[in-house]
Structure 1
Amino acid sequence: FQTFPDAYSVKPNTDTFNAIIKSFAESGTTRSFYSVLDEMCQKGVKPNATTFTTAIAGFYKEERFDDVGKVIELMKKHGCGESLPVFNVRVQGLCKLGRSGDAKALLNEMVKKGTKPSWLTYNHLIHGFCKEGDLEEAKRLYKEMAKKGLVGDSSFYYMLIYYLCKGGDFDTAVGVYNEIAARNWVPCFSTMKMLVNGLAGSSRVDEAKGIIEKMKEKFPDKAEGWKEVEDALPQ
C-alpha cells in the first residue's frame, strides 16, 4: 500500500483508508489503526464516523477495552460525535462478548445524551440477552421497542421466535408470529416448524394446525413441506 499510490499516481481517500482499517480489524490487528490514522492526518485525509466505528468494532472483538476508550476520545477530537451508529457498534460489541448488561447500561447512557435508539440497537440487545438465556429481559426490551413504534426486519422477529421456542415460551412466540403474519413476510421454514412442533408438544395441536393452514394458504409453494410437518403431528 505504501508504494502503490506513487507508482500509479493514485491519491488515497477516506474510503481507501477505511478499507485498510477494516482489513486490520478483520485480521485481529486493529492496533494498526493508530498508524493508519496518523498517515491520514499527514496526507490531509479527513477521517469519518466509519473510520472510528470500524476500529471500535475491531477492538471490542479483541477485547481491548482501553483502546475502545482511546478511539472514542480520538473520534471527539476529530469532530465526530457519538452518533447512533457509534452507539450501535458499541452495543453490538458488548453483546457479542456476553456483556449485554453493560450494553443495556450504554443504552441508558445514549438516551440520557439525547440519542434515540433504533430498532437495530434493540436487535443487538435482545439477541444478546437471548443468547445469555435471559428471556425475561429480552421480552421487556421487545415491549419497550414496540412501545416506541420501532419495527425490525424479518430476521429479527424470526431470531426472537427461535429463542422463545427454545426457552419454551410459546405464548410470546405466537404473539410475535402474529405480528409477522400481519406484515405478510415470508416465513423462515425451520423456525416456524420449531414453533409448530413446540405447540404440538405442549398439547396445543389445534393451534399448531391452524398456523400450518395459514402457511399453506399464504405460501402454496411450500404446501408440500408443511403437509409433511402436519402429518407428523399427533392426531
Structure 2
Amino acid sequence: MLIMGCSKRLYMEKSGFKIHQSCCIVLLLALKRCDKMDMCFSFFQRMVGVNVKFTVHSVAIVIDGLCKRGEVERAKDLMEEMVTKGIEPDVVTYNTLINGYSNNGIVDEALKVKTIVERKGFEPNVVTYNTIACGLCKLKLYVEVKTWLFAMIEKGFTPNVVTFSTSINIYSKIGNLAKAKRLFEEIEKRRVSPNNVTYKALIDGYFMKGNLEEA
C-alpha cells in the first residue's frame, strides 16, 4: 500500500498535478512508522525537488526517523540543507537531533547542538536537559549527570519523571540506594507518576546489592 502511495504521488508529479503538502506528510508519517526510512527520505527529497512547500514539522518527521535508526549525521545534514531553503528548525527539531546524538553515545555533538540552540535565541527546555543527562548516564559519566541535572534545576526547570528516573538510576548504579529510595519517595510527594524505567532503576540497584527482599 505504501509503495502504491508513493507511486501515485510520483505519477501525479509527472502528470503535472499539484501535490498537496498534507498528502505528503501523511505518507512520510506512514513510511516512518513502518521503518521504511530509505523510502521516506527518498520520497521527501523528491518532493522537495518538485517544490512541495514543507514546514519545519514535516522535516522533523524525517529527522526523527533517521535519528531513531542511528543515522544522526544524515539527519543533521538534512537539517542544514533545509536551513539553506529557508526552513528554520524549532526547539522540538533540535531536541530530536540532540536525542539522536545522546542515544548513540555522542554527547559532545549533542552539547554542540544545544549551543547552537542558545546561539539562535531559543531556550533549551527540560527535554533538552533530560536527553543529554540520559546520554551521559549511558556513558557511565555519573558525576557529569548529577552536575547537569543540578544545572537544569538552577535554570528553574521542574524535574519530571525522566529527571527522577535518571537520578535514581545513577544512585542505584553507584550503590547509594538510600539516596535512590529518597528520590523515589520524593516522586510520590510531588505526585509524579513513576514509570517502568523508574521502578527498574531502583530494582536493579537492590539486585546489585543482593537485597532481594527489597527488590
TM-score when normalising by structure 1: 0.67
Q: Secondary structure at the match of 1:150?
A: coil
Q: Whose radius of gyration is greater, 1 or 2?
A: 1
- The unaligned stretches of length 5 or more in structure 2 are 13-17
Percentage of matched positions with identical amino acids: 20
More divergent stretch after superposition (92-101 vs 19-28): 19-28
C-alpha distance in 2, partners of 1:128/1:146?
18
**Candidates 54, 76, 84, aligned match of 2:83:** 76
**Residue 28 of structure 1, CA deviation:** 5.2
C-alpha distance in 2, partners of 1:21/1:196?
40
C-alpha distance in 2, partners of 1:25/1:189?
26
C-alpha distance in 1, partners of 2:194/2:53?
44
Q: 1:99-139: CA deviations, max 9, x gaps?
A: 11221232123223321111111121111111111111111
Report the CA distance shift for 1:16/1:150 in structure 2 as closer, same or farther (over 3 A): farther
| Paired residues of 1:130 and 1:138 also in contact (CA < 8 A) | yes
2:37 maps to 1:29: yes
Q: Which amino acid aligns with 2:141?
A: D
**Candidates 127, 132, 154, aligned match of 2:161:** 154
Q: 1:13-46: CA deviations, max 9, x gaps?
A: 434323333444453533652443433563x642
C-alpha distance in 1, partners of 2:155/2:28?
35
| Paired residues of 1:158 and 1:191 also in contact (CA < 8 A) | yes
- Aligned residue number for residue 20 of structure 1: 27
RMSD: 3.6
2:128 maps to 1:121: yes
Q: 1:181-202: CA deviations, max 9, x gaps?
A: 3312344588458648958998
C-alpha distance in 2, partners of 1:187/1:97?
25
Q: Secondary structure at the match of 2:89?
A: coil
**Residue 12 of structure 1, CA deviation:** 5.8
2:139 maps to 1:136: no
Q: Which amino acid aligns with 1:36?
A: F
- The unaligned stretches of length 5 or more in structure 1 are 206-228
**Residue 85 of structure 1, CA deviation:** 1.1
Report the CA distance shift for 1:90/1:196 in structure 2 as closer, same or farther (over 3 A): closer
More divergent stretch after superposition (165-174 vs 113-122): 165-174
Q: Which amino acid aligns with 1:17?
A: C
Alignment of 1:210-229 (within 5 A): none
Q: Which amino acid aligns with 1:111?
A: E
C-alpha distance in 2, partners of 1:171/1:101?
32
Report the CA distance shift for 1:36/1:183 in structure 2 as closer, same or farther (over 3 A): same
C-alpha distance in 2, partners of 1:47/1:17?
9
| Paired residues of 2:169 and 2:201 also in contact (CA < 8 A) | yes
C-alpha distance in 2, partners of 1:58/1:197?
31
**Comparing both chains, which one has the higher relative contact order based on Cα–Cα distances under 8 Å and sequence gaps of 6 or more?**
2
